[in-house]
Amino acid sequence: MAQRRKSPAKRRSRPAPNLVIVESGTKAQTIKRYLGRDYDVLASVGHVRDLPKGNLGVDIENEFAPTYVVPRDKQKTVTQIRKAAAASDSVLLATDPDREGEAIAWHLMAAADLDEKKTSRVRFHEITESAVRDALNSPEPVDDRLVEAQQARRVLDRLVGFKISPILRRRIPGGSSAGRVQSVALRIVVDRERQRREFVLEEWWTVDGRFGDPGTGVAAFSARLYREGKELRLDAASAEALLDPLGQAEYQVTDRQQSDRRLRPQAPFTTASLQRAASNRLGLSPSQTMRIAQRLYEGVRVPGRGQIGLITYMRTDSVSVSGQALDAVRGYVRTELGEDFLPARPNSYKTRTRNAQEAHEAIRPTEVALSAAVLGEALDSDQRKLYDLIWRQFVASQMVPGTARRLALDVAAGTDSEHVFRVTASRVIEPGCLQVASYGPRISAEESDRFDYLSGRAVGDPIELLEIESQKHASEPPPRYTEAGLIKVLEDEGIGRPSTYAAIIRTLKDRQYVSSQRRVLEPTQVGEFVTDAMAEFFADIVDVAFTARMETELDRVASGELGWVDATGVFWERLDRDLTNAWENLKKPVADELLEEECPRCSRQLVKRLGRNGIFVGCSGFPECRFTRDLQDSGNGEEPTAVGEPCPDCGSDLVYKQGRFGRFIGCESYPDCRYTRQITEPTGVQCPDCGEGQLVVKKTRRGRTFYGCERYPACEYSTWQDPRQKPAQSAPPKTAKKSAKSEPGGAIVGECPRCGKELGVKRGRYGEFVGCSGFPGCRFTGKIADYVAAESSG
C-alpha cells in the first residue's frame, strides 16, 4: 500500500530585513518594483502628526513649544509602521526631498517610536531604479534644520489663524478666517481690482487704410498712419479731417526695413513656471497641475516597463539640471534632430526667483527618450498633455535659438512726407528650439500671406489705397490676475514656496474670498472686507515686503543661521501688539446691522446680512420671511417691481433690481436662487441673420454697448454698429474711399468664406470690389466679377 506523502507545511512569511517608508501608495508600488524581496515599502499617506484641530496647540510662554497629536485616521497607519519597523533590521525614511518631507520623516520617528540606531534618511529627486539605489547606498540622518524651518512655518501659520480669525469673525460675520500667506495674496488681488475701479478711460482715434496692387481692387494689407515714427493718435475731429485729403493721394513704398531677432530657448520648468505654462497653454488650474505632476513623479504603469517615475520632483525653484541629464538630452537632440539643432556648448540658465532655495533639479523627464508619443496609451489625456509640455520644455532648453524675420514697409503719398502708413509682418525663418518647444510666436495665416506680399515689394513700387477710415480706440484698465499671473507675482516677490502656490489659490477660492471664471481671479465683497480689516489691524500680515522678509527668515532657519524660536519670537512680538490693538478698537460688524426700515411683506425690521456674494438686505424674521433686496436698492420700503414672468430656474417671480452696474432682472428668491439677466432695450430693427427676432441693446462685462439678437443663444448675431443709425449718402467719386461701414448699403453678394459675415460691394479708386462687412476684424476681399457671375449663374 502506497504511503500518502504529507504536504509541506506553509512557510510563515518573514518580514524583509529592510523597511522603506514613503508618503504615497503609488510611490511605494514604484519603489517596491525596483528593490525586490529584501525590502518592504510602506506608505504614511502624508503627515502622521499635526497640531490639534480644536485648540491653539502652541505654548507661547514655553518657547512656542508645539503639541503634536496623531489624528484618529492615522493611528492605524502609525501602528502598522511601528510593528513593521520593530521586525526590520533597518528603517529608511524616503519621504519627499523638501522641508515638508523632512518634517514627515521626523514625525514618523516620534509617532512610530522608531529606533534611531537603525533608522536613517534617504533622499532622491526622481523615482528611477538608479536614483533610488544610489540614495539607499548614501543614507543620512534627518536634517533638523529643515525640520525646524517647517515647524516654524507651521507654528506661525497657526498663530495667525487661531489668533486673528476670531477678530475677523466679529468684524465680518460668516466664518471669515485669516492665513499668513493667503492674506497677502488676497490683498494683491483686491488692490488690482481697486486699480481697475479707479481707472480713467482714455479714447483716441487712428487712421487706417487698406492697400493693394494698382488696378486689382484686392486689398493685400492694412496699415496704420504714423507721424515721425510714432503711431498717430488723434481726437475724432482731427482723424476725420485727414480722411479726404489722404483718400485723394497717390501712394508708393517709401521705405522697407528688414530685421532678424533670435528666439532663445526657455529654461526647463520650475514649479511656478510649470503652473503658469499649464494654466496658459493647457487650461489647467495650479491644483490640477500639481496633482497630475505628482502622479507622473510617483510612477505610471508603462507596457513592457512596469511602473516607473516619469518626471523629477515637481516642487522646485531651480532651473539646474544634472550632468547626466544634460548628456542624455544633448545626445537625443543630436540623434533625433541633427547637429544643426545642437548648440556647441550646453545652454546654462540662472534661477531668477527671489529667495530661491535651489535644493533640487528643474522639472524634467527622467528618460528623455520617452516622449509622449512613445508612451502612448500609458498616459491619460491630462497626463499626456502635461508630460508633453514638460518634455518639450526640457528638450528645447538644450537646442539652438530660432530666428524670426520682421519686415516693415512705409507707404506714403509722394507729396506728403509727414504722414506715413506703416505695415509689418513676421515669419520664423530658422525654427531652432521652436521645432520642439510649445512656445514661440503665433503667426496667423493672414500674417503669413502679408509677409509674402511685403517680401516682393521694393521702395518706389506704386500701391493703391482702396479704403480709409478712422478707428476709435479706448484704453483698458489693468487686467485682473489670472491664477498663473498671481503665482508669478508671488514668486517674484518671494512670497510662499513652490509647494504652497496651488494651496494658496485653492484656499482663497474655497473660502469664497475670490471667484474664478476661466482662471481669472476677482475678489468677492467678503474678500474685500477681509482685506480691509486685515489692513486696518494687521498691516504687517498683508504687507508684501514683510511677508517676503519672513520667508527669508525661514530660509535662514533652514540653513542654520537662525534658530526657529528666535524667528517665531520676532514675528509674535509684532502680532501680539496688533492683536491687543485690534481687540481694543474693534468696531461693530459690517453686517447684522438693523436698518430703520420695515419689511414690505411682514413689517418686521430689515437688517444688513452678509452672504457669499457680499452684503444684502434681508428680513429680521428669516427664515419665516425670506424677503431680500440688494443693498444698493433705494430702500424706500416698497417691494421690487415685478417683471411679470416666472423665474426659469425656480418658478418664483422675477423682479427688477439695482446693482453696481445698473438695473437688471433677478429672482425674488435671492439668495436661494441666483438667476439674473440683463435688461435689454429693443431697437425696433429686425435681426438680419435669423429674420425672426429684433436687435436689442446689450453691454459687455466691461460696459461697452453692442447690439445682438433677442433670440440669443438660438441666434448669435451681434454688431457694434447701432442698427438705428441711417447710412450716410453716397460720397463723390474722389472721396468714395471712406470705410465700407459708412458706405451706402452696397449690394450683398454672399457670405464671407473666412468668417461667415456678409460680403458687400465696395468702391475703390479703380472700381468696385467685394469686401467683408466684418472689417477690420476680417479683411477678406475679392474681385466683384467672381461673385456677380456666381450670383447670376445660380
For 425-447, how does the pLDDT look when each residue is reduced to its tens digit (9 = 90+)? Answer: 999 999 999 999 999 888 888 89
CA distance 472 to 233: 10
DSSP per-residue letters across 377-434: GGS-HHHHHHHHHHHHHHHHTTSPPEEEEEEEEEEEETT-SSEEEEEEEEEEEE-GGG
Nearest to 517 by CA among 283, 190, 177: 283
CA distance 97 to 87: 26
**Residue 34 a catalytic site member:** no
Q: What is the mean pLDDT of residues 180-201?
A: 94
Q: Where are the beta strands (DSSP E) in 431-568?
A: 462-474, 514-517, 520-523
Sheet holding 767-772, edge to edge: 748-751, 758-764, 767-772, 781-782
- The predicted pLDDT at position 246 comes to 93
Q: What is the mean pLDDT of residues 14-34?
A: 89
Helix axes 501-510 and 182-198, enclosed angle (nearest 10): 70
Q: What percent of the chain has pLDDT over 70?
A: 85
The answer, yes or no, to whether residue 775 has pLDDT greater than 80, is no
Among the listed ranges 18-32, 164-178, 206-220, 352-366, which one has the minimum average pLDDT value?
352-366
CA distance 326 to 337: 16
Helix (H) or strand (E) holding 263: strand 251-263
The answer, yes or no, to whether residue 580 has pLDDT greater than 60, is yes
Nearest to 314 by CA among 129, 125, 143: 125
The answer, yes or no, to whether residue 639 has pLDDT greater than 80, is no
With H, G, I as helix, E, B as strand and everything else as coil, classify residue 312: strand
- The predicted pLDDT at position 64 comes to 97
pLDDT band at 772 (very low <50, low <70, confident <90, very high): confident
Q: What is the mean pLDDT of residues 412-433?
A: 89
pLDDT band at 622 (very low <50, low <70, confident <90, very high): confident
The answer, yes or no, to whether residue 55 has pLDDT greater than 80, is yes
Q: What percent of the chain has pLDDT over 90?
A: 61
Contact predicate 58/64, CB 8 Å = yes
- The predicted pLDDT at position 738 comes to 41
Q: What is the mean pLDDT of the chain?
A: 85
Higher pLDDT, 336 or 602: 336
- The predicted pLDDT at position 296 comes to 97
pLDDT digits (tens, 9 = 90+) for 707-746: 888 777 677 787 777 787 644 332 233 333 444 333 333 4
The answer, yes or no, to whether residue 641 has pLDDT greater than 80, is no
The answer, yes or no, to whether residue 327 has pLDDT greater than 80, is yes
CA distance 489 to 703: 28
pLDDT band at 388 (very low <50, low <70, confident <90, very high): very high
- Using DSSP bridges, classify how beta strands 694-699 and 705-709 pair: parallel, antiparallel or unpaired: antiparallel
The answer, yes or no, to whether residue 787 has pLDDT greater than 80, is no
**For residue 263, what is its C-alpha cell?**
528666439
Among the listed ranges 457-466, 648-657, 694-703, which one has the minimum average pLDDT value?
694-703
The answer, yes or no, to whether residue 24 has pLDDT greater than 50, is yes
The answer, yes or no, to whether residue 578 has pLDDT greater than 70, is yes
Nearest to 99 by CA among 555, 750, 677, 741: 555
Backbone angles phi, psi at 773, to 5 degrees: -75, -10
The answer, yes or no, to whether residue 54 has pLDDT greater than 90, is no
Of 73-82, 518-527, 595-604, give the range with the top mean pLDDT: 73-82
pLDDT digits (tens, 9 = 90+) for 87-142: 999 999 999 999 999 999 999 999 999 999 999 999 999 999 999 999 999 999 99
- The predicted pLDDT at position 442 comes to 84
| Residues in the chain, overall count | 794
- The predicted pLDDT at position 415 comes to 63
**Residue 336 identity:** E
- The predicted pLDDT at position 187 comes to 96
pLDDT band at 768 (very low <50, low <70, confident <90, very high): low
| Dihedral over alpha carbons 129, 133, 136, 142 (to 10 degrees) | -50
- The predicted pLDDT at position 149 comes to 95
- The predicted pLDDT at position 745 comes to 37
The answer, yes or no, to whether residue 294 has pLDDT greater than 50, is yes
Nearest to 71 by CA among 46, 96, 95: 46
The answer, yes or no, to whether residue 792 has pLDDT greater than 60, is no
- The predicted pLDDT at position 709 comes to 84
Q: What is the mean pLDDT of residues 148-161?
A: 95
Of residues 313, 501, 513, 670, which has the active-site annotation?
A: 313
Strand partners, 646: 653
Q: Where are the beta strands (DSSP E) in 416-574?
A: 419-430, 462-474, 514-517, 520-523
- The predicted pLDDT at position 629 comes to 80
pLDDT digits (tens, 9 = 90+) for 207-264: 999 999 999 889 899 999 999 889 999 999 999 999 999 998 999 999 999 999 999 9
Q: What is the mean pLDDT of residues 764-786?
A: 65
